[in-house]
Structure 1
Amino acid sequence: MEPADRDAGIDLAELLAAFSLATDLGLGQPMEHVLRSWRIAERLAQHVDVPEEQRRSLFHVSMLAWVGCVADSPEVAASFGDDIAFRADSYTADLAGLAGMGFFLRRAGRGGPMWHRLRVATTLVRTGGQNVVRGMQSHCVTTSTLAERLGLGQDVVTALRQFFTRWDGRGVPNGVGGDDIAPAVRLLHLADVVEVRYRTGGIEDALEVARARRGRQFAPGVVDAFLAHAPEVLAEAGTGIDPLSADPRLRRPLTGGELDAALEAFADFTDLRCASRAGHSRGVAELAAAAAGSMGLPAGDVVATRRAGLLHDIGLHGVPVTVLDQAGPLSATDRERVRLSSYYTERVLARPAALARLGAIAATAHERMDGSGYHRGLSGASVPMTGRLLAAACAYRAMLEPRAHRAALSTKQAVDLVRDAIRGGALDGDAAEAVLAAAGNGSRRRVTGPAGLTPREVEVLVLISRGARTGEVAERLRISRKTAGSHIERIYTKTGASSRATATLFALRNGLLDPLDL
């Protein structure tokens, strides 16, 4: 069986639940807000007349409904400042009619000079908020496109396109309301808001907002069911990701190929957060994986490096676009917010177990060999080779991309800066040279592993460090016992090792063994 056809050890539901934690960051909400909203909607569905097929789609609609916010983040930031703070504040107001316009006007141009605030406010009034409407439309189209890429049904795609509708027909698309709205969306409209209001203001606040928006934003039948069963519906709504796989309706194990396709989709959406980052995650993943293969890392490590590369910037959902796209120097506070992004990456991917290793690798993409990186400030042997490759690939790729504070660098400039970082001790020389070679820039020396180990010798070293004897090495690599013995002798000679133990220490010191595997 080909690797792409094997069970990847993760369900689509588990993957979507993990990605929803990144969405929570972008909404300015504590992690598991989206999951709690789904559980509230799921419990409400038991008290209203919702067809079974709509209940089956409720989970996927809930997990993806807010994903599109990354697509319009630059536009939101241009009009309203900090996009994360704007979305967090939006839970306090009904966004239709005069109340909605008042909310937008109070936040128009926030964080900018007075002339900018006046210009944004004037445009909002003159156009009737058409830029906001276009942002909502873009959000829905982008989110439904992701659902299609993930192979979800047409019911999910259709529901996601209705996310900004209202029961009174004053949402987006204009005039769509009432019973034309998919039952899953009607449930989620209420659940998304009351989860926040219950968490921040208690059950009375949740009941109050439901009553106030009944027949306007919220479907009357859904509100009535909520008012009648609120304590039951709200009780212990946040029980985490782990129980998801226990629900047979959500079971959809992914093959390796399906997991790769899903991670590529999430990588593309993550990069939408800033226009200048389009394609960054894919580029880093491909470079790092090619370099890992050229260095002779085990096949599993090559795959993990690529997947971690696709995910390494997922924590940027927790950093406002106003910080990511700032042209001038960042303040100490904003620098800290950027440094936290790799922490968010690790936390978002901490569950389930199949993602935890990828998250741990992805979180090292900004570490440096001299300890100057983030978020842990790891150095030397503490950084696995997978992380060293990601760090070099991320640094090189970012140099070739424009940023708010500089234009894109030329290939020569990027290569020179990478080699400066090698000389300065920030980047691992073997890993960085392998990345440059994978990018087609050649290398001043033949790309090898540490101490001049060939790719095959690296494979053998990893195997013996993990306890394999000569015969087992021969069997695993499908070579003769004599050839395996010759490889081991050359490894000992090149590394100065005298035993398996000292060879293992060499492998650890040079990042060839991932501590997570030991």
Structure 2
Amino acid sequence: MEHLLRSWQIAARTGKYVGLADDQYESLFYLAMLSWVGCVADAPEVSALFGDDIEFRSDAYGVDLAGASGLRFFTGHAGSGASVSRRLVATASLIATGGRGVVEGMQSHCTTVSTMAHQLGLPDAVGDGLRQFFTRWDGRGVPNGVGGTDIALPVRLFHLADVVEVHHRLGGVAGAVDVAGARRGKQFDPTIVDAFCEIAPAVLPEIGRQAELHELIADDRTLRRSLSEAELDVALEAVADFTDLRSLHRAGHSRGVADLAAAAATSMRLPEDRVRDVRRAGLLHDIGLHGLPATVLDKPGPLAATEWERVRLSAYYTERVLARPSALARLGAIAAQAHERMDGSGYHRGSSGSTIPVTGRILAASCMFRALTEERAHRRRRSVKEAATLLRTEVRAGRLDAEAADAVLATAGVGGKRRTGPAGLTPREIEVLRMIAHGASTVDVARGLGIAKKTAGTHIERIYVKTGSSSRSTATLFALRNGLLDALDL
């Protein structure tokens, strides 16, 4: 946790002693934040070569990856987790090709994350720096031959900080200084190493002071940038696209779920802000998959019990990660419900019935439908008609909400019959019920829907009769119990 934030702080503090210019400070921050995002681009390939890609990258911090030590590391991890015969084949292939697959993976990492920086509208210096992420001072990195001062100063600073942060946590100041010295003139710029070793106790952050790092960003005018609603959508779409890269079979999944859920929510006449929320939650609903190794995500056979538990935890990771920036917490609460089921059989909370808001119900139906129509390592893709049949089966079994599933199927163009809501409420009456639950008067309802005050009053009377309510508060409770409202709004 907070590895990249602490690495950025080390690099920025060290930069003051080696001539980091003010206009490079912002580039250093974004370079640090995005540096390892590109690892999702080659996760399937890394997994095929070295097994658990998360474990592989973690182990790599302890080794200088060039020369004999690098060869021992790569061959020692080749085919990890596989049978002895497969490990031998993987090792032989790695040696025979000269590690070409590893190099190609690094190039893919750099190219894709540089593209993300461009998509986010960041300065060209950030994208250019990210393309040098796997270079080395001695020129033995990727691209081969690029080294020395041809590497941008922010990149050289981060190369050192990224490694010493890990060794600081594991071995204290001495551990950080030792690894810096050992790789001086090889992976790291000697000038930066010398400056760091002199001031290491002052530039290494205190472990456990996470709040301080977030406060540093919030207080820094250079880094504190507000996004417009349109810019936020672009940023979330970038997150969705990179999340889907984590698996060979998920390209376009998050965008597809988001658009389907938004269209279904619109057909159910949810307010515009709710439609926007469910689309954004759809973009983010699988972000927790970054906590799963590709060996689990793309496993061709049944998952073991421990692997299945890791999958269930991915929904928790989604909610927890998005809860950290308070501006995204609401979206995280919706996104984490993509795998909940009405009968309580879903994950991660095992929520059921009225505890799942309508946005969560729509997202769950949208995610299931979209996933069924996509290929997976353990099954073939279903046709739209087959997916629709399976969705209706889930409704009959009590696992999916009928109204949400119908809206999704109608949006997807495979039917979905027109239904009345709970207690026989019409779509217009549900719309009015949502409004009065949020405190709208009869006049407010009439004005908001562009109808006569008398018509609005008639709708309210019918709502009270159908739901057995005698006041706004009891009608609101009915709406909550039946998933017509999001409790987070009240």
Correspondent of 2:125 among 135, 139, 155: 155
Q: Deviations over 1:291-329 (max 9, x none)?
A: 111111111111000000000000000001101111111
Residue 353 of structure 1 aligns with an amino acid whose one-letter code is S
Q: Deviations over 1:462-486 (max 9, x none)?
A: 1211222212223333433223212
2-structure distance, mates of 1:496, 1:75: 59
Q: CA deviation at 1:512?
A: 1.8
1-structure distance, mates of 2:353, 2:214: 34
Q: 2:291 matched to which residue of 1?
A: 318
Q: Deviations over 1:180-221 (max 9, x none)?
A: 111111111111111111112211111110000111111112
Residue pair 1:163, 1:185 contacting (<8 A) in 2 also = yes
RMSD between aligned residues: 1.4
Q: CA deviation at 1:457?
A: 2.5
1-structure distance, mates of 2:226, 2:330: 18
Q: 1:39 to 1:422 in 2, by over 3 A?
A: same
Q: CA deviation at 1:509?
A: 1.0
Q: Deviations over 1:302-360 (max 9, x none)?
A: 10000000000000000011011111111111000000001000111112221000001
1:438 aligns with 2:408: no
1:189 aligns with 2:165: no
Q: 1:202 matched to which residue of 2?
A: 172
Correspondent of 2:142 among 168, 172, 182: 172
SS in 1 for 2:222: helix
Q: Deviations over 1:395-434 (max 9, x none)?
A: 1111111111110011222111111110111101111111
Correspondent of 1:495 among 460, 467, 477: 467
Q: CA deviation at 1:489?
A: 2.0
Correspondent of 2:100 among 127, 130, 149: 130
Residue 483 of structure 1 aligns with an amino acid whose one-letter code is T
Q: 1:142 matched to which residue of 2?
A: 112
1:385 aligns with 2:358: yes
SS in 1 for 2:323: coil
2-structure distance, mates of 1:346, 1:506: 27
Residue pair 2:249, 2:375 contacting (<8 A) in 1 also = yes
Q: 1:358 to 1:48 in 2, by over 3 A?
A: same
Correspondent of 2:186 among 192, 210, 216: 216
Q: CA deviation at 1:452?
A: 4.2
1:232 aligns with 2:205: no
Tell me how many residue pairs correspond in the alignment.
487
Q: CA deviation at 1:493?
A: 3.3
Note the residue ranges of structure 2 that are not aligned, 5 or more in a row: none
Residue pair 1:297, 1:455 contacting (<8 A) in 2 also = no
User: Which is bigger in relative contact order (C-alpha 8 A, separation at least 6)?
Assistant: 1
Q: CA deviation at 1:368?
A: 0.5
Q: Deviations over 1:415-459 (max 9, x none)?
A: 11111110111101111111111111112x215543443443322
Q: Deviations over 1:99-144 (max 9, x none)?
A: 1011000000011122221111111111211110110000000000
Q: CA deviation at 1:517?
A: 1.6
Correspondent of 2:247 among 274, 288, 293: 274
Residue pair 1:241, 1:351 contacting (<8 A) in 2 also = no
1:462 aligns with 2:440: no
SS in 1 for 2:227: strand
Residue pair 2:248, 2:298 contacting (<8 A) in 1 also = no
Q: Which moved more, 1:415-424 or 1:462-471?
A: 462-471
Residue pair 1:323, 1:330 contacting (<8 A) in 2 also = yes
Q: CA deviation at 1:47?
A: 1.5
Residue pair 1:296, 1:454 contacting (<8 A) in 2 also = no
Q: Deviations over 1:32-85 (max 9, x none)?
A: 111111111111111111122111211111111111100100000000000000
Q: For 1:411-430, list aligned pairs within 5 A.
A: 411-430=384-403
Q: CA deviation at 1:240?
A: 4.5
Q: 1:347 matched to which residue of 2?
A: 320
1:33 aligns with 2:6: no
